[in-house]
């Protein structure tokens, strides 16, 4: 090596330790506003210590992990990074809520080729906002700078949530029986699923720009609609737990739509008969279907179509449950009814209509 050759540093190899340290300092205030009394210590340590709420007699821990998927491409293209942080929390939190669990704490993984502190802070601010909505603490995470691994200006996200539920009181589907009723909770739009198909139809096939305002979207831009954050149902579902509503099961409607997710909370030998006329499908889904000539079955198994969560209760509890959910700010519809199927048959969704059409 020549004496005149500059010394090689980690920064010259593409990893900026100073930028990482600056990000940690910036996100500390965001993390602080999410804290719960059970959290011991703050952001910056090697690990987080979290106690269990003392009101639980036999606590069971519930965990979930998820990402945001190709919705991130919308953030990259538009430079709007805050809402995908909320999405990240929502996708994991909503998954554990279906057990009746209380979200306790959340961690994130943020990986990029070159750390842009302003972008990363915007994402983490969104994560903190999501944690506030969910009532869980942001206790830590990992920021990975991987030179050359991701395209410039891009990053990836993963989230991890832990909650708690009382043993013997989880919503495991075992009490669901024919005659029980499914209530649907409205989504805020696409949530975080189907974006590969969405971008192919709207951006490629239809040639829409990010500032486009198709008449179907009521004056909103494509950016506003596609980056609308996933709804977090923590307050609503926790209200059912606190009121001791005998919820049989719940399902988070993500990738796979109603046909792919509703059966996950049903016992064998049952099916959920859904009335497609029970709710109004948001306009964005109609725009995608028409723009791409997408078949109805494909729409149903790709998107939530306006239903982000379902809750199944005995028929006698429908009015009370609906009242609690609406008081918590949800738009609720009577989605359908649990029916008997062949003994031991795998649960499925049947859409009411000619012939009881299946997806």
pLDDT in tens, the chain (359 residues): 555 667 766 676 666 677 767 777 877 888 788 899 999 876 777 888 999 999 999 999 999 999 999 999 999 999 999 999 999 999 999 999 999 999 999 999 999 999 999 999 999 999 999 999 999 999 999 999 999 899 999 999 999 999 999 999 999 999 999 999 999 999 999 999 999 999 999 999 999 999 999 999 999 999 999 999 999 999 999 999 999 999 999 999 999 999 999 999 999 999 999 999 999 999 999 999 999 999 999 999 999 999 999 999 999 999 999 999 999 999 999 999 999 999 888 999 999 875 444 44
Q: Would you say 189 and 223 are in contact if contact means Cβ atoms under 8 Å apart?
A: no
Query: Which residues lie below 8 Å from residue 213, measured CB to CB, with a gap of 6+?
Result: 219, 220, 221, 222
Query: What pTM, to 2 d.p., does this model score?
Result: 0.92
Dist. CA 180–CA 335, nearest whole Å:
11
Looking at the chain, how many residues does it have?
359
Q: Would you say 190 and 284 are in contact if contact means Cβ atoms under 8 Å apart?
A: yes
The pLDDT value recorded for residue 47 is: 87
Domains of the chain in sequence order: 17-166 (3.30.1330.10), 181-351 (3.90.650.10)
Q: Would you say 333 and 279 are in contact if contact means Cβ atoms under 8 Å apart?
A: yes
Dist. CA 315–CA 142, nearest whole Å:
46
Dist. CA 284–CA 269, nearest whole Å:
35
Q: Would you say 232 and 134 are in contact if contact means Cβ atoms under 8 Å apart?
A: yes
Query: Quick one: which H or E segment has residue 174?
Result: none
Backbone angles phi, psi at 106, to 5 degrees: -140, 145
The pLDDT value recorded for residue 358 is: 42
Q: Which two tokens stand for residue 204?
A: 């490629």
List the helix and strand counts (H, then E) for the chain: 11, 12
């Amino acid at each position: 090596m020549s004496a005149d050759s500059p010394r090689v540093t980690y920064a010259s190899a593409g990893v900026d330790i100073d930028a990482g340290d600056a990000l940690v300092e910036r996100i500390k205030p965001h993390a602080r506003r999410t804290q719960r009394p059970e959290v011991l210590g703050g952001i910056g340590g090697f690990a987080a210590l979290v106690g269990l709420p003392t009101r639980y007699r036999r606590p069971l821990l519930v965990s979930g992990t998820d990402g945001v998927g190709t919705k991130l491409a919308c953030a990259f293209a538009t430079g709007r990074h805050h809402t995908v942080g909320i999405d990240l929390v929502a996708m994991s939190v909503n998954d554990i809520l279906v057990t009746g669990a209380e979200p306790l704490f959340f961690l994130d993984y943020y990986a990029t080729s070159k750390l842009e502190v302003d972008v990363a802070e915007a994402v983490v601010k969104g994560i903190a906002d999501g944690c506030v909505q969910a009532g869980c603490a942001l206790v830590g995470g990992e920021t990975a700078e991987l030179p050359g691994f991701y395209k410039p200006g891009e990053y990836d996200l993963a989230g991890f949530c832990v909650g708690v539920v009382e043993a013997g009181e989880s919503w495991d589907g075992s009490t669901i029986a024919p005659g029980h009723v499914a209530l649907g909770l409205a989504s805020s739009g696409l949530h975080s699923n189907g974006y590969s198909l969405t971008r192919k139809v709207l951006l490629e096939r239809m040639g829409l720009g990010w500032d486009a305002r198709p008449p179907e979207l009521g004056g909103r831009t494509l950016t506003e609609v596609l980056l609308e954050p996933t709804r977090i149902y923590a307050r609503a579902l926790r209200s059912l737990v606190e009121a001791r509503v005998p919820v049989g099961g719940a399902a988070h409607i993500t990738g796979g739509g109603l046909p792919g997710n509703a059966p996950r909370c049903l016992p064998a030998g049952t099916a959920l008969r859904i009335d497609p006329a029970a709710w109004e499908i948001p306009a964005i889904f109609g725009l995608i279907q028409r723009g791409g000539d997408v078949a109805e079955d494909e729409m149903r198994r790709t998107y939530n179509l306006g239903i982000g969560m379902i809750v199944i209760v005995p028929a006698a509890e429908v009015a009370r449950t609906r009242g609690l959910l609406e008081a918590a700010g949800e738009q609720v519809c009577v989605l359908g009814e649990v029916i008997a199927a062949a003994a031991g048959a795998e649960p499925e969704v049947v859409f009411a209509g000619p012939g009881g059409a299946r997806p």
